[in-house]
Structure 1
């Protein structure tokens, strides 16, 4: 904002990233990344995929890369490279036509001289460059013709300079001899500076002195000789690629015409010296490439060089956006170049994606494990679990907003009394009692409660609740190949994370064991389970999973035991005495006997068992229904997308039953 004539003027903020712009949505990023991780992607791949897709409000890398390619095709499809040749030809035709008119009007001219001149004009070479060269020494009779011809030399000079120095064509329009002398002087000083730099003999003072004298020719405002060389080399390489992109005939014509630039061979020599120095100083630039232009809009040398420079910049942006090389980061993307080519909104999208990438690493959502692999951090898993628990609650209640009522009361119903807080208490605070205790302590210590209170641990009181039975919950999830093949892998994972979040935040006194069973069974922490990729092992070894569940229950003998089993197939493997998993399809009688025996033992111990049957296979339905009747268990057959709500609902039902039954004696 600036002040002008007593009024305020507002304009677009140009001091960097907009300080009022909304922050990037890490929640959206984390949810999407975690979803892909649960689906089997590595966290690194999941992050890359999210960055490629983009956010709800920002373009992703793939869309930006697509726009880069579209912009490239537009430039090639719109332009052709003979604009300078066409302009020179028009000026030449004008000069010749005006000269012929003058010869016709000039009655005083000797007939022999007139005939000779007309013959000379009539027999000019078909080549524009050759015709321009042949007329270099022609004594023009028409002032208009002479002016048109001189404009050819002026145009060529400005175009040749515009190839090396952007904007020179417009800057030197209607230039005086003094202006041309200043350009020539600048080229001489520039070549001298670059020559000293090649031999390591230049100083920063040399560069500062050069810019003080000639800085007006460099709108890029380089801050060092290296930046100056970078800008010049990019432009010069683009000019060379422009020539390479022309047909041999066009290239030959322009090379011959260039000698007529300003009518100064010295200018051509100094430009050749500049190109030679830049090639030596920046050999890594593309000096030999070419492009295929197919459009109708003719480009002059300067504008064509600018288009070639744009194409090179687009190629660099495409490489940066591809993130294809090791160690690539979105911080590598040139935001200024992206804004030039695709507009400011594209640069904002890329900047936001880079911030998300940075925040996922620096914000603790992704961590590198001991084996060097990226993993979702506990913070990220908790964040994901919270989201999934909300989804499960909505499924459970059938309406939004019921979650808090249904999931409250982890510590039991309040009795109306309060007591001093002890470490590990999860009951709600008695706010009135706590503040009263703090006031009393402050007065006793000689302080003034009116100046502010500082709570101490001894001030805190919590509301007493009725004692509630705690639960040991074993969630057994089938990880056999069919779970992934039938699209049940992701709902199963979402269910486990939702239940883990519920128990770890609302029912902290309960204990949860997460047990996977495929060919073998395995107890996992939630981080390992989240990163577990789909498995291709055949076998549904429920027997092994039940053995691990029984071991978990024995570690918590005073708790209510709740067993939740998610599976899409009947048992096809069991654990032999030697620890080997024996697989058989169809299921062997020995496998069924071993599995049923372990379920019988858990049932006799009072374990509340619920099967969550995924799929409609008759053999699975017969097995789980028969077991449920045998041990007093339950069977729930939800759709995969409703699994989370079903499991959470059964957990609540089991806890409610345990609290009303007062617990069950169990012998394991």
Structure 2
């Protein structure tokens, strides 16, 4: 084949097969942005799947496509097309017959004209009255046969999608042969459904049925369930079409359909089939009404198809919205999406599902008791991301700062070195390591004659550093609802995760405890913190939080204490002797007294309390100033955007201060 025989163009049959797979780690980072802003993991994942990402449509885009398609269908036409077409053919046949009778002066011609004049105005009754009429005009006879074929095709296609085309392919057969073929198909179908209800159906029986009658079902169902689903959705749509028409239209079309079924001898089998379909799919809407706003008259089959597609769109929209408890993308029926939106929408849906599944498979998220949670692996990544952003902001605030992965893992250099041992985190002495390799005869010659130095483990030396004092770090985070109302909860959550990442990765000898407080104080694990929302309760129980922090410091008596408090409100709750809590607003004297008592205990432990105020309420300012005066700690008023930088900087400053003091 010559080169000119090839043609190149865009690939349209689904997603680009050569495109790289979607980066799940990037999906986690995008999900993490919302978590760090205060959202729960479930809400963050739902937002990611709704909005999508660059190169990936989300469920909101699919929903938008559903709404546009639904609007187009509602404006595609109106009911009554079959009635109008039947009436037009009937009037044409009568006109042709009158034209043939008019020149004839006989009494027979006049009697025939009188019979035509007496025809009922109702189309169905008029057609029934003409069933035995002996047409004088050959053209009128052909038009009337065309009318009967139209009604046969339209009525059967209304019940069975694609039947019209199947009947057209049988147009060389006689009407009686056609009716017999349809009747045999219905009888076999009803027998197969009855056998299935008795538990006697097999796939072989279905395959045999399709071998004999498959030309009536162009959608090629693979099993009985698929066939029943297709037929039931079609039958329910037909019932909704009839219910949606005006009373006159409904009665006229129902009469026409009944007449056609009776003429073909199919009424009993169709009634039997509809009863079986209703029993199998009672979940479908069999009686709803829909309004169509278009100007073009739709035939009964086309109107039924519109309503069938609208039902698919409603089903897809309900599952795409994912607004019910425990919703997952696996709930969405791919076949319904394909019918409603096409192949490309199914491909987008599969890619979205892959994100959700891969996040679970790769250990970033898990479901516990129906709740979506971030795993420790994901929390470490989110904490590292938050910390990286904080260091980036610190770099912007002052020159010379660097985001160094091992910053802080060693103390000040002493000027001497020693052989490397497993687990050492001290900086590598490159010069002495290379010199050791040369002394130990590690120099080799490459094939081209160039010298090469091959180092072994025993050649490495590391710098010796000063021993540092470990710290016991307590971060107290306000969980009261006002944090959410002021929009500061996300910043507090990100700060806590960043501090956890900094301590565990760069200062592992330090001990860290994160304590949340609202009406009560409680210790927060990092995985819990990532998915935590501010609590819709009254109370800012700083007393209980300080009590918990004091117990933590007492378990680490040899560690230097660092206590940081992030809050936007003065204390309004305290513990009662029975373990309950008391809430008062404005704060009661007892609440302030008990909270300051815990502050004094911290002072005696040698722990300075550094407070990061996220509001400037007079009551909060007065209390914090009083606490600082009694304890000696510092007070900061950062914006929520700078909170992380302040807390991390304060922690690092405290470590540097201790090192100099040592």
TM-score (norm 1): 0.81
From the superposition, tell whether residues 531 and 179 of structure 1 become closer, same or farther in structure 2 (CA, over 3 Å).
same
Question: Does 2:644 match 1:661?
Answer: no
Question: Does 2:150 match 1:155?
Answer: yes
Counterpart-to-counterpart distance in 2, 1:97 and 1:442 = 115
In the other structure, the counterpart of 1:184 is 180
In the other structure, the counterpart of 1:20 is 19
Counterpart-to-counterpart distance in 2, 1:532 and 1:565 = 18
2:143 partner SS = helix
Post-superposition offset of 1:430: 7.0
Aligned counterpart in structure 1 of residue 387 of structure 2, from 386, 389, 393: 389
Post-superposition offset of 1:156: 0.9
From the superposition, tell whether residues 433 and 191 of structure 1 become closer, same or farther in structure 2 (CA, over 3 Å).
farther
1:512 partner SS = strand
Counterpart-to-counterpart distance in 2, 1:226 and 1:518 = 55
Gaps of 5+ in 2: 443-453
Aligned counterpart in structure 2 of residue 112 of structure 1, from 96, 107, 110: 107
Partners of 2:157 and 2:163 within 8 A in 1: yes
Counterpart-to-counterpart distance in 2, 1:332 and 1:588 = 52
Post-superposition offset of 1:657: 1.9
Partners of 1:184 and 1:267 within 8 A in 2: no
1:80 partner SS = coil
Q: Deviation digits for residues 488-515 of structure 1, max 9, x if unmatched?
A: 3332222111111111122222222223
Counterpart-to-counterpart distance in 2, 1:372 and 1:438 = 58
From the superposition, tell whether residues 259 and 598 of structure 1 become closer, same or farther in structure 2 (CA, over 3 Å).
closer
Larger displacement relative to structure 2 (227-236 or 172-181): 172-181
Counterpart-to-counterpart distance in 2, 1:179 and 1:382 = 76
From the superposition, tell whether residues 403 and 338 of structure 1 become closer, same or farther in structure 2 (CA, over 3 Å).
farther
From the superposition, tell whether residues 102 and 567 of structure 1 become closer, same or farther in structure 2 (CA, over 3 Å).
same
In the other structure, the counterpart of 1:449 is none
Counterpart-to-counterpart distance in 2, 1:274 and 1:642 = 70
Larger displacement relative to structure 2 (617-626 or 80-89): 617-626
Partners of 1:193 and 1:206 within 8 A in 2: no
From the superposition, tell whether residues 176 and 441 of structure 1 become closer, same or farther in structure 2 (CA, over 3 Å).
farther
Partners of 2:38 and 2:491 within 8 A in 1: no
Equivalent runs, 1:315-394 vs 2, <5 Å: 315-323=314-322, 328-368=327-367, 374-394=372-392
Question: Does 2:246 match 1:247?
Answer: yes
Post-superposition offset of 1:643: 0.8
Post-superposition offset of 1:523: 3.4
Question: Does 2:79 match 1:81?
Answer: yes
In the other structure, the counterpart of 1:488 is 488
Q: Deviation digits for residues 500-535 of structure 1, max 9, x if unmatched?
A: 111112222222222334454443332333444434
Question: Does 2:221 match 1:222?
Answer: yes
Post-superposition offset of 1:650: 1.2
Partners of 1:155 and 1:261 within 8 A in 2: no
Partners of 2:613 and 2:637 within 8 A in 1: yes
Q: How many residues align?
A: 646
Post-superposition offset of 1:647: 0.7
Partners of 2:392 and 2:403 within 8 A in 1: no
Larger displacement relative to structure 2 (641-650 or 581-590): 581-590
1:166 partner SS = coil
Post-superposition offset of 1:58: 5.0
TM-score (norm 2): 0.82
Counterpart-to-counterpart distance in 2, 1:196 and 1:577 = 75
2:315 partner SS = helix
Q: Deviation digits for residues 256-298 of structure 1, max 9, x if unmatched?
A: 3346649953355554454455445555544444434443221
Counterpart-to-counterpart distance in 2, 1:648 and 1:234 = 61
Counterpart-to-counterpart distance in 2, 1:656 and 1:466 = 14
Equivalent runs, 1:164-179 vs 2, <5 Å: 164-173=159-168, 175-178=170-173
Question: Does 2:122 match 1:127?
Answer: yes
Post-superposition offset of 1:31: 5.0
2:19 partner SS = coil
Post-superposition offset of 1:338: 1.7
Equivalent runs, 1:132-143 vs 2, <5 Å: 132-143=127-138
Counterpart-to-counterpart distance in 2, 1:537 and 1:250 = 60
In the other structure, the counterpart of 1:651 is 651
Counterpart-to-counterpart distance in 2, 1:299 and 1:145 = 25
Post-superposition offset of 1:384: 1.8
In the other structure, the counterpart of 1:448 is none
Counterpart-to-counterpart distance in 2, 1:438 and 1:300 = 90
Counterpart-to-counterpart distance in 1, 2:408 and 2:292 = 73
Post-superposition offset of 1:178: 1.9
Q: Deviation digits for residues 521-573 of structure 1, max 9, x if unmatched?
A: 44333233344443455554545544444443444444443232223344556
Counterpart-to-counterpart distance in 2, 1:596 and 1:50 = 45
From the superposition, tell whether residues 147 and 26 of structure 1 become closer, same or farther in structure 2 (CA, over 3 Å).
farther
Counterpart-to-counterpart distance in 2, 1:95 and 1:189 = 33
Please give the root-mean-square deviation of Cα atoms over the aligned residues, in Å.
Answer: 4.4
Q: Deviation digits for residues 610-657 of structure 1, max 9, x if unmatched?
A: 322222234543444455466553222111221111111111222222
Question: Does 2:607 match 1:611?
Answer: no
Partners of 1:572 and 1:588 within 8 A in 2: yes
In the other structure, the counterpart of 2:449 is none
Larger displacement relative to structure 2 (307-316 or 458-467): 458-467
Counterpart-to-counterpart distance in 1, 2:437 and 2:472 = 38
Q: Deviation digits for residues 38-69 of structure 1, max 9, x if unmatched?
A: 8475x546545654555566555466456545
From the superposition, tell whether residues 513 and 640 of structure 1 become closer, same or farther in structure 2 (CA, over 3 Å).
same
Partners of 1:519 and 1:540 within 8 A in 2: yes
Question: Does 2:87 match 1:92?
Answer: no
Larger displacement relative to structure 2 (412-421 or 608-617): 412-421
Counterpart-to-counterpart distance in 1, 2:590 and 2:101 = 117
Counterpart-to-counterpart distance in 2, 1:276 and 1:528 = 54
Q: Deviation digits for residues 436-455 of structure 1, max 9, x if unmatched?
A: 99999999xxxxxxxxxxx9
Post-superposition offset of 1:85: 0.7
Counterpart-to-counterpart distance in 2, 1:471 and 1:646 = 18
